Structure 1
Amino acid sequence: MRKPPGYVAASVLCSLGGFLFGVDTGIIGPATVMDEFKNYVGNTSPIVHGLIVSSILIPAAISSFFAGRLADALGRRTGIAIGSLIFAVGATLEASSVHIAMFIVGRVVEGVGEGLYLGTLVVYICEIAPPKHRGALTTGPQLLITLGLVAGFFTCYGTANIESSMSWRLPFALLAGYAYAFSAATLVWLPPSPRWLNLHGKADQAAAAWEKLGVPAADREKILEQLETSVLEPPSPDVGDETSPDRAMATGTDAGVSSRRQPPASDKPNKMLDVFSPDARSRTFLAVFLMGMQQLSGIDGVLYYAPLLFQQAGLDSVQSTFLASGVSAIVIFAVTIPATIWADRWGRRLSTMLGGLGMAATMLIMGSLYAGDAVHASTGAGRWVVVVGIYVFAVLYCVSWGVGIKIYAAEIQPQRTRASATNIAHGSNWVTNFLVALVTPLLLAKTSYGAYFLFSICTFLAVVVCWLFMPETRGKSLDEIEQAFQSSRVIGGPWKLAESMRKMLGRKRLAVDA
Structure 2
Amino acid sequence: MYLGLRGKALVAAIGFCCGSGFLLLGYDQGVMGGVVGYSGNTFAQVFNNPNPTTTGLMVSIYEVGCMFGSIAVIAWGDRIGRRMSLVVGGIIVIIGTILQVSSYSRAQFIVGRIVAGLGNGMNTSTLGIYQSETCPARNRGKVVTCEGIMAIGGVWVSYWLDFGMSYTNSTAQWRLPLAFPAVFALAMSGVAFFMPESPRWLVMKKRDEEAKQVLAALAGRDIPPDDGSVLALYTSIRQATDYENQVGGEFSYRELFTGRDLQNFRRICLCFGIQLMEEMCGINLITYYMSNVFLQIGTSYFMALLLSGVNSTTYFISSFVPIWLIDRFGRKSLLIYGTTGMMCMMIMLTVSLSFGAENLTAGIFAILSIFLFNIFYATGGWMATPFLYPSEISTLRIRSKGSAISVLSKWMFNFLVVMISPVAMANIGYRTYVIFIVLNFVFIFVVFFFYPETKGLPLEQVDMIFEGGDPITRGAMRRRRLEPHDFAQDLQEKHEHGRAGHVEDISKTA
Whether the aligned pair in 1 keeps the contact of 2:101 and 2:175 (CA below 8 Å) is yes
* 212, 216, 220: which one aligns with 1:211: 216
Whether the aligned pair in 2 keeps the contact of 1:68 and 1:120 (CA below 8 Å) is no
Following superposition, the deviation at residue 355 of structure 1 comes to: 1.5
Structure 2 SS opposite 1:21: helix
Equivalent position of 1:387 in the other structure: 367
* Structure 1 residues without counterparts, runs of 5 or longer: 232-257, 494-514
Distance 1:386 1:419, change over 3 A: same
State yes or no: 1:267 paired with 2:261: no
**Stretch deviating more after TM superposition (134-143 or 422-431):** 134-143
Partner amino acid for 2:426?
Answer: A
In the TM superposition, 1:95-244 aligns within 5 A as 95-188=101-194, 190-214=195-219, 220=230, 223-224=233-234, 227=237, 229=239
Distance 1:397 1:94 in 2: 30
Distance 1:291 1:431 in 2: 10
Partner amino acid for 1:9?
Answer: A
Distance 1:486 1:331, change over 3 A: same
Distance 1:121 1:220, change over 3 A: farther
Following superposition, the deviation at residue 468 of structure 1 comes to: 2.0
Equivalent position of 1:333 in the other structure: 316
Distance 1:162 1:390 in 2: 28
**Stretch deviating more after TM superposition (169-178 or 111-120):** 169-178
Distance 1:219 1:397, change over 3 A: farther
Distance 1:167 1:266, change over 3 A: same
**Stretch deviating more after TM superposition (469-478 or 127-136):** 469-478
Following superposition, the deviation at residue 99 of structure 1 comes to: 0.7
Q: CA RMSD in A?
A: 2.3
Equivalent position of 1:312 in the other structure: 296
Distance 1:473 1:181, change over 3 A: closer
Partner amino acid for 1:8?
Answer: A
Distance 1:438 1:223 in 2: 46
Partner amino acid for 2:331?
Answer: R
* 335, 348, 356: which one aligns with 1:365: 348
Distance 2:472 2:189 in 1: 39
State yes or no: 1:291 paired with 2:275: yes
- Residue identity over aligned pairs, in percent, reads 26
Distance 1:301 1:358 in 2: 17
* 454, 463, 487: which one aligns with 2:435: 454
Distance 1:6 1:305 in 2: 38
State yes or no: 1:301 paired with 2:285: yes
Partner amino acid for 1:349?
Answer: K
Equivalent position of 2:506 in the other structure: none
Distance 1:435 1:262 in 2: 36
Whether the aligned pair in 1 keeps the contact of 2:86 and 2:188 (CA below 8 Å) is no
Distance 1:262 1:84 in 2: 32
Following superposition, the deviation at residue 329 of structure 1 comes to: 1.3
Equivalent position of 1:468 in the other structure: 449
Following superposition, the deviation at residue 230 of structure 1 comes to: 6.7
* 77, 80, 85: which one aligns with 1:74: 80
Per-residue CA deviations over 1:374-397 (Å, capped at 9, x if unaligned) read x434x4211111111001111111
Structure 2 SS opposite 1:376: coil
Distance 1:60 1:486, change over 3 A: same
Distance 1:146 1:55 in 2: 22
Distance 1:486 1:352, change over 3 A: same
Per-residue CA deviations over 1:285-314 (Å, capped at 9, x if unaligned) read 012012111110010110000000111112
Per-residue CA deviations over 1:376-432 (Å, capped at 9, x if unaligned) read 34x421111111100111111112122333322221111111110111011001100
Whether the aligned pair in 2 keeps the contact of 1:20 and 1:179 (CA below 8 Å) is yes
Structure 2 SS opposite 1:20: helix
Equivalent position of 1:496 in the other structure: none
Following superposition, the deviation at residue 191 of structure 1 comes to: 1.5
Equivalent position of 1:40 in the other structure: 46
Distance 2:30 2:337 in 1: 27
Distance 2:219 2:168 in 1: 48
Distance 1:273 1:336 in 2: 39
Whether the aligned pair in 1 keeps the contact of 2:7 and 2:219 (CA below 8 Å) is no
Partner amino acid for 2:100?
Answer: E
State yes or no: 1:421 paired with 2:402: yes
State yes or no: 1:485 paired with 2:466: yes
Distance 1:383 1:220 in 2: 59
Partner amino acid for 2:350?
Answer: G
Distance 2:385 2:247 in 1: 34
Distance 1:24 1:194 in 2: 30
* 7, 12, 30: which one aligns with 2:34: 30
Equivalent position of 1:355 in the other structure: 338
Distance 1:183 1:357 in 2: 37
Report the count of equivalent residues: 459
Following superposition, the deviation at residue 3 of structure 1 comes to: 8.4
Distance 2:229 2:285 in 1: 41
Calculate the TM-score normalised by the size of structure 2: 0.85
Distance 1:87 1:222, change over 3 A: farther
Partner amino acid for 1:290?
Answer: I
Distance 1:29 1:220, change over 3 A: farther
Partner amino acid for 1:31?
Answer: V
Equivalent position of 2:504 in the other structure: none
Following superposition, the deviation at residue 225 of structure 1 comes to: 5.3
State yes or no: 1:17 paired with 2:21: yes
Distance 1:224 1:314, change over 3 A: farther
* Structure 2 residues without counterparts, runs of 5 or longer: 1-5, 475-510
Distance 2:31 2:141 in 1: 29
Structure 1 SS opposite 2:408: helix
Calculate the TM-score normalised by the size of structure 1: 0.84
Partner amino acid for 2:414?
Answer: N
Whether the aligned pair in 2 keeps the contact of 1:119 and 1:422 (CA below 8 Å) is yes
Per-residue CA deviations over 1:62-99 (Å, capped at 9, x if unaligned) read 32133144331111000011011111111111001121
Equivalent position of 1:445 in the other structure: 426
Whether the aligned pair in 2 keeps the contact of 1:22 and 1:148 (CA below 8 Å) is yes
Equivalent position of 1:501 in the other structure: none
**Stretch deviating more after TM superposition (209-218 or 434-443):** 209-218
